[in-house]
Amino acid sequence: MNPTLLSFLEKTDRILGLALDPHADRHHAPRIIALHNGHDVFVFTPDPESIALLRACDLPMATHDAKRVHTSLAVAHLDIGQPRWACTMIVAQLVNHSNVVYPEAPDANASIEALGALAEHHRNIALHQMPWIKSTGQNRISRIESRAIAPIASMETRGMPFSSEQWRKADRDAKAEVNAIILQKDTPQKLHRMKQLKKLITAYGLNYLDHVSPDGRIHPTFIQIGASTGRMACQNPNLQAVVSEGPHRASFHTPPGRTLIIADYSACELRILCEMSDDPVFKRAFSEKLDIHSEVASTMFDVRVSKTEHPELRKRAKAISFGLVYGMGAGGLAKTLDVDRDRAETLLNDYFKRFPRIRDYLESAAELGIRNGYVTTLGGRRLHLPQNIDHAAKGRLARNMPIQGTNADITKLAMGDLYSPLKPFHDAGLVNAVHDELVIECDVDNADAVASTVQNAMVQAGESILKNTPVEVDVHISTVWAK
């Protein structure tokens, strides 16, 4: 035990400031850590014992980019656990501090003293942000984002299993098929197929292999708040954009003895819409585990609809429901259903006549959002509307953003809740997250137990936010990232 560090931690006033040496990043372990407890600076070289003390102290730890700090410690095989990170960068996004000018941060390259000053700077910024979190009612979402930092950092460090050989084969096969089509007669169907293949070759060519790390895996960068709704984004490469069908997707598969648990929320956006609107048809469909799109279509068109009976009506109802969730108007619906705009307007009006509570919720959300300049998710996230768009565009966003944002709240809550329960399983952990889908890698022998753990945690996370709507999670076990 390090009694000096322990004594320092015991004297901490409310929150601990933390800064790593500038050398530390996702590829390099930290050489020096500086702490500030509100009174003094403590500078040390990290080792398992000192990190264990930090892990056990259960103090909020303020730093600018907590994911970077967490990742750098992981590179050094230092287990910081799931700290109460006070990430000033994340909080600035939550409280809309993009236009706030904070005091200039000390240059950590200058000296050891400057590194200590940087730790104090992080602490001061975090203390400045705390009242803003409270005044905007975002205490809960701040905790959700804080607990998601560890699993997101771990997800980047672990990386996605990948087969370069399979990817090269998919590229060769696509190019060979294009060449074969060129030599054949020039039918419209084959031209369409050739365009599809060329698009695949351009998007998923051999350059994609530049993202493969020496360990044979892909380690993308996840941006924790990567969209205005609070959803994550992914880059270098963007795993969220990999097409769900086709040979390239099959390149994401596990090595021998390992498998993937692919879990996603079933009809999450529509369940959120149900919770927000309290619509009786939606409530009954979800509580009785009925096909929501068939029930909506049956109510809307006054005929019995299922996946086999009047499937075209089910398709229309599905397009309208999801269109409303994603802010689609009559023009977008007309394009989706391949009908004229007047017909799309009629369909929307008929939908709202049969589902007045959904209409009332969407209208009130638009009115409130435009009046306040922001909307709020069920998790308490405040989402600000852009000021440089017209009234109609603001209304569309005000209707759409709370649903998408609540989806992000639920998914991040589940990620945070899964971090500790996965620890007992040998080398099990998150490897990917695509909106409301989580992908976990584990040993084949643990697959069933991990799948059950994942499903339970995701359901509980959903139900802690959706108080009156059942939550379902579909779980699939596969060596390939597919459903």
**Each residue's pLDDT tens digit, 402-413:** 999 999 999 999
Mean pLDDT of 184-205: 86
Dist. CA 345–CA 314, nearest whole Å: 18
The predicted structure's pLDDT at residue 2: 81
Mean pLDDT of 169-194: 88
The predicted structure's pLDDT at residue 434: 94
The predicted structure's pLDDT at residue 190: 87
Residue 200 has pLDDT above 90, yes or no: no
Alpha-helical regions (H) of 44-103: 48-57, 66-75, 88-94
Mean pLDDT of 239-259: 90
Q: What is the tens place of the pLDDT at every residue in 66-125? A: 999 999 999 999 999 999 999 999 999 999 876 677 889 999 888 999 999 999 999 999
Dist. CA 10–CA 412, nearest whole Å: 31
Mean pLDDT of 294-318: 95
Burial-class residue 302 by CB neighbours within 10 Å (0-12, 13-18, 19+).
Answer: exposed
273, 281 contact by CB (below 8 A): no
446, 428 contact by CB (below 8 A): yes
For the chain, what is the mean pLDDT? 94
| Confidence band, pLDDT 50/70/90 cuts, at residue 263 | very high
Tokens of 205: 């060519």
By three-state DSSP, how is residue 196 classified? helix
144 against 335, higher pLDDT:
144
The predicted structure's pLDDT at residue 204: 85
Helix, strand, coil percent content, the chain, rounded in steps of 5: 55, 15, 35
Residue 63 has pLDDT above 80, yes or no: yes
| Confidence band, pLDDT 50/70/90 cuts, at residue 241 | confident
pTM metric for this prediction: 0.94
The predicted structure's pLDDT at residue 26: 84
Mean pLDDT of 49-75: 95
Cα dihedral 76/81/84/88 (nearest 10): 30
| Confidence band, pLDDT 50/70/90 cuts, at residue 1 | low
The predicted structure's pLDDT at residue 466: 98
The predicted structure's pLDDT at residue 461: 98
The predicted structure's pLDDT at residue 183: 84
Q: What is the tens place of the pLDDT at every residue in 19-51? A: 999 988 888 899 999 999 999 999 999 999 999
Percent of the chain with pLDDT over 90: 82
Phi, psi of 474, deg, nearest 5: -90, 130
Euclidean distance between the first and the last CA atom of the chain, given in angstroms as a whole number: 48
